[in-house]
Amino acid sequence: MVQYQDRLDRALAAISDPTRRSVLERLAGGPASISELADPFDISLTGMKKHVAVLEEAELVSTEKVGRVRMCRLGPRGLDEAQEWIEAHGRAMAARLDRLGTLLENDDQGEQR
């Protein structure tokens, strides 16, 4: 019963790492090999491959082996679900906070419906 959220879980966890966010930003500029992705960071090839694997499992990135090079590009699915959740609930949270802001320092218990 948690499984249908799995992709959202993975996507959010994937982008919670700054290295992986940088990788996504880099790939937004076009495909790149593992080596090219690893280059700007103080990280081993193996380490970068792991990051790419995480992004791939979150379906944010797709890869393809071409000769001895693994080309990485943005996946077709992208951050849609993550964006949807944040927009829907971020909006609700902000709205709630706005109302709270006007009522605060006054009555907290009354908020509990």
Partner DNA sequence: CCTATACTGAACCAGATGGTTCAGTATCAA
Partner DNA sequence: TTGATACTGAACCATCTGGTTCAGTATAGG
Interface contacts to a copy of itself, rule CB under 8 A = 2, 5, 8-10, 12-13, 15-18, 21, 24-25, 27-32, 66, 71, 73-74, 76, 78-80, 82-83, 85-87, 89-90, 92-94, 96-97, 100, 108, 111-113
Token pair of 50, please?
A: 């792991």
Q: How many CA atoms lie within 13 A of 63 on its CB side?
A: 22
**With binding defined as CB under 7 A, does residue 90 bind DNA?**
no
Query: For residue 109, what is the DSSP state?
Result: G
Q: Are 77 and 59 in contact (CB under 8 A)?
A: yes
**Region 15-34 residues binding DNA, contact defined as CB under 7 A:** 16-17, 19, 33-34
**With binding defined as CB under 7 A, does residue 113 bind DNA?**
no
Strand order in the sheet with 32-33: 32-33, 69-74, 61-66
Residues 6+ apart with CB under 8 A from 103: 111
Contact residue for DNA among 5, 6, 50, 96 (CB under 7 A): 50
Q: Which is nearer to a copy of itself, 49 or 78 (CB)?
A: 78
Contact residue for DNA among 65, 76, 101, 110 (CB under 7 A): 65
